[in-house]
């Protein structure tokens, strides 16, 4: 099993280019099941979750290939299986995203029920309710969601009780091929949803309203294959910018429109960093100073993203001042705080909030990654700690960060991967 060894204390300095967004690529890959046509996708990041999704698509019968230039080619003209098995779903919850496309195109799907995970119970009841409203018959049998739509899916006017990214994605993919008009209300507005809708539109879907809380669709009988370039990863970019700020360093990231960072950009500004930007780049300079502490409350987009919460928690542990970080999207997503306390961080957990008093430094320690973004936050903590930090269970980090140690080494970090 791999671990990361970090000797902290180096300022991050330099530049990097954003990778494609994992959370956009996963639903886009699932959406290729909606067509028999060939899809060619650029900027699909090289990550464990992407490999899992490609394995799942191949197990259903899709032809998948990654060319040498990185382009991913998929053709779902010979799908003959309709089951997402437990072994794949347990390693990646986003496997649930094949449910809507399989049901819409083939009228049947069996997807293993995603269980609890490290950041809370994460139910999929709203995915199921939206598809049932479109006419699907869904039962739970032997740990599987068993869905059928013998007469096809039909358009629906459906309101989500809670804003859900994955639920919105499953519903919009299914409604693209449902008969008639669908109006989906209280949907997620994340940039990754906008990216999925743009891909579906390139495939011939009729959808309006992406980026707002209501999506209106006119279902079509068939969709075509399409070429598409996946959007850059705002969470990856945000993570490196926070890491640079925490170390008092400076960083320029190419290949991302800064607006997509939303409130993360505002919060970075509140740390006292100098920010500059152009159409497709953003830079941050902390001028060698300690960042100022910032308060965070996570919310669905356009609020502060839960996927950036742990990284700002790490920054706050070494910032000037006190801060409160409140997690409202997921239960149980402050686990990284306990590991950071082992590194000397002054954090008190009160319900869904972490109260943090910044220290001038942390001390390196052996720590354990509990989920993807928690792992990233421990890397940031390791970069600012004195001495050596060893992070175990970093398979979590490989799910979502392409070549993290390589990118950080280029920025001057003393970090290496070991296999034990």
Chosen residue from 144, 199, 330, 401 binding ligand UD1 by CB under 6 A:
330
First to last CA, the chain: 6
- Residue 328 φ/ψ, nearest 5 degrees: -110, -10
d(CA 111, CA 401): 26
Annotate each residue in 180-199 with x if it binds ligand UD1 (CB under 6 A) or - if it does not, as one string.
--------x-----------
The kind and range of the H/E element at 109 are strand 108-112
Count of alpha carbons within 13 angstroms of residue 58, beta-carbon side: 12
* Dihedral, 48, 42, 96, 298 alpha carbons, nearest 10: 80
Annotate each residue in 304-323 with x if it binds ligand UD1 (CB under 6 A) or - if it does not, as one string.
-xxx----------------
Annotate each residue in 2-31 with x if it binds ligand UD1 (CB under 6 A) or - if it does not, as one string.
---------------------x--x-----
Q: In what order do the strands lie in the sheet with 108-112?
A: 83-84, 108-112, 144-148, 137-141
Q: Closest separation between CB of residue 51 and ligand UD1, Å? A: 14
Q: Report helix, strand or coil for 216.
A: strand
Chosen residue from 7, 63, 66, 122 binding ligand UD1 by CB under 6 A:
122
Chosen residue from 166, 232, 262, 291 binding ligand UD1 by CB under 6 A:
166
Q: For ligand UD1, which is the closer residue by CB, 125 or 280?
A: 125
CA distances from 76 to 56, 303, 345 (A): 12, 36, 50
Chosen residue from 34, 39, 88, 126 binding ligand UD1 by CB under 6 A:
126
d(CA 261, CA 283): 12
94 is an interface residue for ligand UD1 by CB under 6 A: yes
The kind and range of the H/E element at 158 are strand 157-159
Q: Closest separation between CB of residue 98 and ligand UD1, Å? A: 13
Q: Closest separation between CB of residue 211 and ligand UD1, Å? A: 15
Q: For ligand UD1, which is the closer residue by CB, 33 or 188?
A: 188
Q: Closest separation between CB of residue 415 and ligand UD1, Å? A: 24
d(CA 318, CA 402): 26
Provide the 10 A C-beta neighbour count for residue 15.
13
Q: Closest separation between CB of residue 344 and ligand UD1, Å? A: 28
Q: Closest separation between CB of residue 30 and ligand UD1, Å? A: 10
Residues annotated as catalytic (active site), given as ranges:
117
Chosen residue from 9, 37, 61, 123 binding ligand UD1 by CB under 6 A:
123
Q: Report helix, strand or coil for 265.
A: helix
Nearest to 103 by CA among 149, 142, 60, 62: 149
Annotate each residue in 339-378 with x if it binds ligand UD1 (CB under 6 A) or - if it does not, as one string.
----------------------------------------
Q: For ligand UD1, which is the closer residue by CB, 172 or 385?
A: 172
Q: For ligand UD1, which is the closer residue by CB, 45 or 358?
A: 45
Chosen residue from 112, 164, 247, 323 binding ligand UD1 by CB under 6 A:
164
104 Cβ neighbours under 8 A, 6+ residues apart: 34, 149, 153, 173, 174, 175, 176, 177, 178
Task: Looking at residues 138 to 157 of the shown chain, list those that interact with ligand UD1 (rule: CB under 6 A).
Answer: none
CB 163 within 8 A of CB 186: yes
The site that binds ligand UD1 (CB under 6 A) totals a number of residues, namely 21
Please report the sign of the dihedral spanned by the C-alpha atoms of residue 231, residue 55, residue 370, residue 144.
positive
Q: Which residues bind ligand UD1 (CB under 6 A)?
A: 23, 26, 93-94, 122-127, 162, 164-167, 188, 305-307, 329-330
């Amino acid at each position: 099993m791999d671990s990361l060894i970090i000797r902290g204390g180096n300022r991050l300095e330099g530049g990097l280019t954003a990778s494609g967004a994992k959370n956009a690529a996963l639903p886009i890959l699932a959406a290729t099941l909606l067509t028999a046509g060939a899809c060619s996708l650029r900027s699909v990041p090289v990550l464990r979750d992407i490999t899992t999704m490609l394995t799942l698509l191949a197990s259903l019968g899709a032809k998948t290939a990654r060319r040498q230039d990185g382009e991913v080619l998929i053709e779902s003209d010979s799908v003959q299986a309709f089951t997402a098995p437990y072994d794949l779903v347990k390693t990646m919850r986003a496997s649930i995203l094949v449910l809507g496309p399989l049901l819409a195109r083939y009228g049947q799907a069996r997807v293993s029920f995603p269980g609890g995970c490290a950041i809370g119970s994460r139910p999929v009841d709203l995915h199921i309710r939206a598809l049932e409203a479109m006419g699907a018959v869904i039962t739970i049998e032997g740990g599987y969601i068993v869905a059928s739509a013998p007469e096809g899916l039909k358009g629906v006017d459906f309101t989500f009780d809670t804003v859900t990214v994955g639920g919105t994605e499953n519903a919009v993919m299914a409604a693209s091929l449902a008969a008639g008009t669908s109006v989906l209300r209280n949907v997620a507005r994340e940039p990754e949803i906008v990216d999925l809708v743009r891909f579906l539109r390139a495939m011939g879907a009729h959808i309006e309203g992406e980026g707002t809380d209501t999506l209106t669709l006119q279902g079509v009988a068939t969709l075509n294959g399409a070429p598409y370039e996946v959007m850059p990863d705002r969470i990856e970019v945000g993570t490196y910018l926070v890491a640079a700020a925490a170390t008092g360093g400076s960083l320029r990231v190419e290949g991302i429109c800064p607006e997509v960072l939303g409130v993360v950009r505002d919060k970075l500004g509140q740390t006292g960093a100098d920010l500059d930007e152009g159409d497709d780049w953003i830079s941050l300079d902390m001028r060698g100073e300690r960042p100022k502490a910032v308060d965070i409350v996570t919310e669905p987009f356009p609020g502060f993203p839960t996927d950036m919460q742990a990284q700002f928690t790490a920054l706050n542990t070494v910032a000037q001042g006190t801060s409160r970080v409140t997690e409202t999207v997921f239960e149980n997503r402050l686990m990284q705080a306990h590991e950071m306390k082992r590194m000397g961080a002054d954090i008190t957990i009160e319900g869904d909030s972490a109260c943090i008093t910044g220290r001038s430094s942390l001390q390196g320690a052996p720590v354990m990654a509990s989920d993807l973004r928690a792992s990233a936050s421990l890397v940031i903590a390791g970069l600012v700690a004195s001495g050596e930090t060893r992070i175990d269970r970093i398979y979590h980090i490989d799910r979502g960060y392409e070549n993290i140690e390589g990118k950080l080494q280029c920025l001057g970090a003393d970090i290496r991967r070991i296999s034990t």
